[in-house]
């Protein structure tokens, strides 16, 4: 069976975990945690990063930091993972679900303004498949109505938003995004040399909203089993974020020697991961570029091989918005109907290939359907019925990739 996903190990994970264990510092916020956080801050321009035990946790921290109160409204795409909404529901928010674009699973930024009311507190764009939402439009709405923006960047590590008009056609614009602009002063000396500095034009996803949440779940590009990170771009939130992260205490300040005792000062939870998890993540970070390059190779092969069938109208390929880069988190197809999708998934399964679909529209989920205001979200429902994800992981062998492509072709080329 060709699996849908296989977690990739770079080889140093156990070594760094051993190091964490034998230095005797097992709890959170130690050397590996700080290394990972500094790396992301430097490479992607986040003001402050805090590792968390999941992206769900990072979203929960964001919901607390946004000071969401019962009855506050939060605008969230319906086509997303449960956690995006759940984190805000736990704070008592009313979720106002937004539709996707017709041609892209991302939230339709042109339809957000109609959803804003005096109770709206925040917008939570999800960068689906690591491809940017229309952040200029979303940030302009946030400015106009004084709202907070929390980017769900769970899938968006190492991806960018670049609204500059492309010069010399889309392809060459995209090529130029790959060019590494080396900038010595972007890298603090504490960062391993194997990690390159900020390498592309544009702003990194997760650096644009007030807050952003990343995932290192084993299905994402870089992983720690379960794991996540809160990126804080608005400095007003940094101090409180550290307190919420450490069970509502000012322990982080204490360890920096800024106060001489620490205690309970706010709400919070134990959101920080153990050093063992951070050590694992560090081994992944060291190979980030290599992982990204390999995933992009696979992605490009799928795209090029399946384009002739897409041109004939059998399905649609992923659309990369002109302001977005592709971090090759996901390769998906959009079929014309639920029946067609089921047929394709079944044919793949008969050939020992596991392809999967997601998400079930959150606005009609068993938990939320009675609370939803009844608006029809047609694009979201269409993606829920018609989108299928193909296997994409570092160790996907070329012969397996070709087999997947041939199997798909066999469905249409009779």
Judged by the rule CB under 6 A, the positions of this chain that interact with ligand PLP are: 54-56, 80-81, 83-84, 126, 152, 154-155, 215, 217, 228
Q: Rounded to the nearest whole angstrom, what is the least distance from the CB of residue 325 to ligand PLP in the complex?
A: 17
Q: Rounded to the nearest whole angstrom, what is the least distance from the CB of residue 135 to ligand PLP in the complex?
A: 16
Residue number with CB closer to ligand PLP (80 or 120): 80
Residue number with CB closer to ligand PLP (8 or 314): 8
Residue number with CB closer to ligand PLP (197 or 225): 225
In whole angstroms, give the CA distance from residue 282 to residue 272. Answer: 15
Cα angle 375, 377, 380; round to 5: 155
Q: Rounded to the nearest whole angstrom, what is the least distance from the CB of residue 342 to ligand PLP in the complex?
A: 23
Q: Rounded to the nearest whole angstrom, what is the least distance from the CB of residue 98 to ligand PLP in the complex?
A: 14
Residue of 151, 152, 149 whose CA lies nearest to 66: 149
Q: Rounded to the nearest whole angstrom, what is the least distance from the CB of residue 66 to ligand PLP in the complex?
A: 16
173: phi then psi, degrees, rounded to nearest 5: -65, -40
Residue number with CB closer to ligand PLP (153 or 335): 153
Pair 193, 200: CB distance under 8 Å: no
Query: Computed from CA positions of residues 67, 71, 77, 79, in that sequence, does the dihedral angle turn out positive or negative?
Result: positive
- Cβ-in-10-Å burial (0-12, 13-18, 19+) of 195 comes to middle
Residue number with CB closer to ligand PLP (105 or 268): 105
Q: Rounded to the nearest whole angstrom, what is the least distance from the CB of residue 359 to ligand PLP in the complex?
A: 8
Element (H, E) at 274: none
Q: Rounded to the nearest whole angstrom, what is the least distance from the CB of residue 54 to ligand PLP in the complex?
A: 3
Residue number with CB closer to ligand PLP (125 or 199): 125
Residue number with CB closer to ligand PLP (205 or 241): 205
Q: How many CA atoms lie within 13 A of 9 on its CB side?
A: 10
Q: Is 171 helix (H, G, I), strand (E, B) or coil?
A: helix
Residue count of the chain: 414
Quote the longest CA-to-CA distance of the chain: 76
Pair 151, 205: CB distance under 8 Å: yes
In whole angstroms, give the CA distance from residue 114 to residue 396. Answer: 44
């Amino acid at each position: 069976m060709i699996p849908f996903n296989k977690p990739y190990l770079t080889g140093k994970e156990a070594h760094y975990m051993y190091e964490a264990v034998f230095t005797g510092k097992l709890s959170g916020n130690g050397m590996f945690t700080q290394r990972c956080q500094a790396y992301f801050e430097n490479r992607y321009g986040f003001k402050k990063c805090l590792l968390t035990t999941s992206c769900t946790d990072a979203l929960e921290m964001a919901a607390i930091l946004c000071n969401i109160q019962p009855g506050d409204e939060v605008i969230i795409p319906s086509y997303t993972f449960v956690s995006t909404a759940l984190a805000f529901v736990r704070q008592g928010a009313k979720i106002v679900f937004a539709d996707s674009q017709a041609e892209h699973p991302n939230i339709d930024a042109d339809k957000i303004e109609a959803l804003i009311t005096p109770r709206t507190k925040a917008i939570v764009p999800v960068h689906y498949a690591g491809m940017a939402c229309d952040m200029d439009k979303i940030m302009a709405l946030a400015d106009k109505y004084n709202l907070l923006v929390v980017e769900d960047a769970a899938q968006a590590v190492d991806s960018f938003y670049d609204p500059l008009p492309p010069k010399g056609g889309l392809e060459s614009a995209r090529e130029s995004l790959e060019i590494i602009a080396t900038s010595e002063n972007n890298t603090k000396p504490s960062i391993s040399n194997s990690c390159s500095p900020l390498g592309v034009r544009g702003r990194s996803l997760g650096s644009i909203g007030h807050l952003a949440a990343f995932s290192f779940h084993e299905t994402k590009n870089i992983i720690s089993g379960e794991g996540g990170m809160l990126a804080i771009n608005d400095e007003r939130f940094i101090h409180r974020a550290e307190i919420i992260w450490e069970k509502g205490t000012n322990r982080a300040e204490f360890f920096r020697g800024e106060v001489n005792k620490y205690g309970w000062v706010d709400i919070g939870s134990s959101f920080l991961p153990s050093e063992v998890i951070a050590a694992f993540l560090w081994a992944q970070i060291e190979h980030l570029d290599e992982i990204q390059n390999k995933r992009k190779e696979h992605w490009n092969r799928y795209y090029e091989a399946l384009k002739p069938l897409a041109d004939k109208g059998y399905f649609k390929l992923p659309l990369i918005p002109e302001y977005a880069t592709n971090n090759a988190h996901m390769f998906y197809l959009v079929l014309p109907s639920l029946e067609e999708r089921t047929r394709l998934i079944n044919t793949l399964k008969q050939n020992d290939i596991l392809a999967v679909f997601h998400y079930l529209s959150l606005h009609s989920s068993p938990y939320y359907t009675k609370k939803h205001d009844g608006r029809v979200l047609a694009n979201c429902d269409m993606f829920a019925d018609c989108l299928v994800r193909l296997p994409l992981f570092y160790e996907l062998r070329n012969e397996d990739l070709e087999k997947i492509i041939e199997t798909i072709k066999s469905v249409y080329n009779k």
